[in-house]
Amino acid sequence: MKENNQNFNELEIIKTMLNKTQKKVVDRGSFLLLWGWLVFVSHAANCILILKELYHLCWLPWAISMPIGVIISIFLAKKHYAYDKFTTHLEVAYIRLWWASGTAFLIIGFLGPFSPILTYKAINPTIALLAGVAIFTSAAILDWKIFNIAGLFWWIGAIVMMFVPAGWHPFIMAVIIIPGYLVPGYVIRKNYQGSENA
């Protein structure tokens, strides 16, 4: 009986940590939606530049949006952590996953075009594969099943991009970001806020 109570208490602690982490991620959902919208707008701008055959300017949306995203993220992180010094292991894992993924995206996106190994044709499929890993892993860390589906969208998009001309990649990426990132972000925020108000 005593062992059952101890197991129950341990499960309650884990559940409490998970709930706290989920709440913090939802509260800080501005990160998810900020990056989702920045990437969507950048890909949409690339689509317009490609349609107008201004290929030499395709770097410009990224050169503008990515520094803006980094600056705003640093500002938001300082603001959030000034109010809350306590973090769970799950939260640390989630934050590190996304900082590592974001760093990989930036390295591939900005240095990839200059690499003799990674051609421009491989940049978007590679980023989509990594985004799928990050989203899918986030599903496990936060126990949000909708991120499992979102991860599948990224992987399917990566496979499609491997077999279509590179000129289609920005269009495909702009489409993937909606069900693969923005919709799950808004659904989670709405569901969590709805459960708090209930």
Instruction: Give residue 191's pLDDT.
Output: 72
- Could you please report the per-residue DSSP string of 124-172? HHHHHHHHHHHHHHHHHHHT-THHHHHHHHHHHHHHHHHTS-GGGHHHH
Best CA proximity match to 159, nearest among 189, 191, 134, 124: 124
In the prediction, which pLDDT does 13 show?
55
Q: What is the pLDDT of residue 137?
A: 93
pLDDT of residue 39: 92
- Determine the pLDDT at residue 195: 56
User: What pLDDT shows up at residue 163?
Assistant: 96
The pLDDT of residue 115: 86
| pLDDT value of residue 157 | 97
What DSSP line would sit under 52-91, residue for residue?
TT-GGGTTHHHHHHHHHHHHHHHHHHHHHHHH-----HHH
| Contact between 124 and 171 (Cβ < 8 Å) | no
Instruction: From first to last of the 198 residues of the chain, give the pLDDT tens digit.
Output: 555 555 555 556 555 655 555 565 555 556 778 888 999 999 999 999 999 999 899 889 999 998 999 898 888 777 766 556 656 777 778 888 988 998 999 899 888 888 888 888 899 999 999 999 999 998 888 888 888 999 999 999 999 999 999 989 999 999 999 999 899 888 877 776 665 555
